[in-house]
Amino acid sequence: MSKSRKKPQPRPVPAQDLVQRGIELANQARWPECVLALEAAVKREPGQVVAQLNLARAYLYVSKLDEAVSLAAEVRRAQPQLELAALIQAEAFNRMQRFAEAQATLLTLPEASRTTKAYWFSLGYAQQLQGLHQLAIESFMKALSIRMDDAQSHYCMGLSFFEMNLKDEACECFRTALLMGLDAQTIRTVGALAFAERETCQWDQSEPHLQQLRDLVAALTPDSAVDATLFTHATLMDDPLHQLSVARAMTNRWRTFQPVDRRTASGASHGRIRLGYLSGDFHAHATCVLMAEVFEHHDKNRFEVFAYSHGPDERSIMRTRVESAIEHFIDTRSMSSLDMARRIADDQIDVLIDLKGHTSGNRLEVLAYRPAPVQATFLAFPGTTGAFFMDYIIGDAVVTPLTHAAHYSEKIAQMPVCYQPNDRKRPLPRPMQRADVGSPEDAVVLCGFNQPYKISPQVMDVWCALLHDTPHAVLWLLDWHSQARPNLEREFLARGVELNRVHWAPRMDLADHLSRMSLADIFIDTWPCNAHTTASDALWAGVPVVTFAGDTFASRVASSLLHAVGLDDLICDGLTEYQHTIKALASDPARRAALRAALLQARETAPLFDSEKFTRDYEALLHRMHTRHMQGLPV
């Protein structure tokens, strides 16, 4: 009887074949399989640079960012001149919000290797994310000296110019980027351009771009996934369904995200409802100023409060105040979005409140990983997130009436009076004379202290008509930045208004600003984006606000604030009523005096300024959200 032969063992797949397979999988965006193939290649043949670099890049796409950094660093130790390794390492640091380390990594590359557009763009991007905009512009310029037609460099350089209040220069960059072609980023770039043009009140240029945005958004399908400048759509457009469409397309980019693991726990098991806040604005910022007393008044017997801060720590009085008020304050600046979601899930948060929405520097994608069973958007962004992962938008019967439910991807959760909290610890106006600010004592002062982008041509027409009809009135505007004022003055002259009828107020700190604002007779609001925090400042200063309500969240905020101080008769239905109301009030000093007296009393009695009552109502709303989830009821 013959001996049985050994079954032949399969020959190991060569490392080169595994690398090729990994590259093929990468081209198909099958990243988990790509990682497995390339890990096998690196294990089979350690030190194989092509395999290591491809694996490090693949790690970026499966959020193994620490592994990407380590592997790229290993390659660089052997070959410090390799630009691609430095770029991968910097990209991983950027995704972890470790922007200074990304910059430092790139600066360790030998000068002889700093020769490509990719290098200088990556360096500029890391500098931009740190707020080092002058350095970023210099780096983007070097990228463009190598490849002048790089649309992305033009676009990003425009963002830095914008942040430096060089709006005209930003516009030129955005226009050039569009000429060079940005494909899927067209909506974002047109939005940035239209907003920058509105910031400088170049209405003849912004209006065609706003129409272009309407056309681009109208062409979207329910499955579209685009990058967009959502703030432009929410503040400059008066069509809520347009806003919903583009917001949905924005958040569709995260449809493939899988929920993070979460231990099955609830408020019932750990005693108190665990309430989390996600924001980059826990510092001297308008959102934080409004929320400060809410944080301080939270009932710590019922709520265990967590803050996940992904914004700067400028060691301001407001930052210190908020850190003292919140039980668990976690700095998440160095975390990737996935790591932030895992931390929130590990903390077993029951209700997670995002305080950014689609505003600058947001981390909405954290919520796309579903780290909490109940997730809501609140306060910062005046409109829908469009997000499939957001359960509620917190509003009230004025800003978010239930008849507007179709305008929102979220379910509307209404506060009983007004959605906006206020800080009673803000400064009280101190005595000041009009002579102190160069304003005439005998004039009716119409105050429009909104930022320039909120001033629409339609509102300008009404303001100029008021000045023509009310010879004893002057207009008082905020001199927000140097590039808007000349264009606004040109518009006044074109409408026959002499410039001595328009007075300008420089930017100043909150205490001085409130004191100055109290000198005005009437605050005249803007549309389609109202005054928000500025309107509550005016009411706090004793200045009546005249507004009119549109169909969008952003156009109804001042109406909500007026309702909360009992001045519903100053809410108008359209521009004609708005103009007539202001004109009548300007001619009625007795009524203005009565309104001022009512507002001074409202500081002590009105729901708008009762922070403790607001917090109790807000907590009751959060409790109902949590209870519905615990009972298995639908959102």
Q: Which residue type sits at 62?
A: V
Confidence category of residue 63, pLDDT binned at 50, 70, 90: confident
Mean pLDDT along residues 223-251: 96
**Is residue 5 over pLDDT 90?**
no
Task: Report the Cα 138 to chain-centroid distance in Å.
Answer: 26
The whole-chain average pLDDT of the chain stands at 95
**Is residue 492 over pLDDT 90?**
yes
Confidence category of residue 163, pLDDT binned at 50, 70, 90: very high
Beta partners for residue 448, in sequence order: 477
- Helix (H) or strand (E) run with residue 560 in it: helix 557-564
Q: Using CA atoms, how far apart are residues 525 and 536, in angstroms rounded to an integer? A: 12
Nearest CA among 394, 375, 358 for reference residue 249: 358
Residues 499-515 pLDDT 10s: 999 999 999 998 999 99
**3-state class of 107 per DSSP?**
helix
Beta partners for residue 377, in sequence order: 354, 393
Q: Residue 364 corresponds to which tokens in the numbers above?
A: 């909405």
- Helix (H) or strand (E) run with residue 539 in it: helix 533-540
Q: Using CA atoms, how far apart are residues 198 and 201, in angstroms rounded to an integer? A: 5
b or e along 232-271 (b: 16 or more beta carbons within 10 Å of the residue's beta carbon)? Answer: bbbbbbbbbebbbbbbbbbbbbbeebeebebeeeebeeee
Residues 171-189 pLDDT 10s: 999 999 999 988 778 999 9
Q: What is the reported pLDDT for 184?
A: 72
Q: What is the reported pLDDT for 176?
A: 97
Mean pLDDT along residues 489-501: 98
Q: Using CA atoms, how far apart are residues 548 and 578, in angstroms rounded to an integer? A: 6
Q: Which residue type sits at 593?
A: A
Residue 387 φ/ψ region, left for φ over 0, alpha for ψ in the -120 to 50 degree band, beta for the rest: beta
DSSP class of residue 193?
A: H
**% of the chain beyond a pLDDT of 70:** 97
Q: Residue 351 corresponds to which tokens in the numbers above?
A: 């209700």
**Is residue 7 over pLDDT 70?**
no
Collect all residues with Cβ–Cβ distance below 8 Å to 254 and sequence separation of at least 6: 365, 368, 389
**Is residue 13 over pLDDT 90?**
no
**Is residue 599 over pLDDT 80?**
yes
Mean pLDDT along residues 612-622: 98
Mean pLDDT along residues 313-331: 96
H, E, C per residue of 318-360:
HHHHHHHHCCEEEECCCCCHHHHHHHHHHCCCCEEEECCCCCC
Q: What is the reported pLDDT for 15?
A: 83
Q: Residue 66 corresponds to which tokens in the numbers above?
A: 């620490």
Mean pLDDT along residues 445-454: 97
Collect all residues with Cβ–Cβ distance below 8 Å to 479 and sequence separation of at least 6: 485, 504, 505, 506, 507
**% of the chain beyond a pLDDT of 90:** 92
**Is residue 471 over pLDDT 80?**
yes
Which stretch of 173-187, 235-249, 479-493, 571-585 has the lowest confidence by average pLDDT? Answer: 173-187
**3-state class of 413 per DSSP?**
strand
Q: What is the reported pLDDT for 70?
A: 97
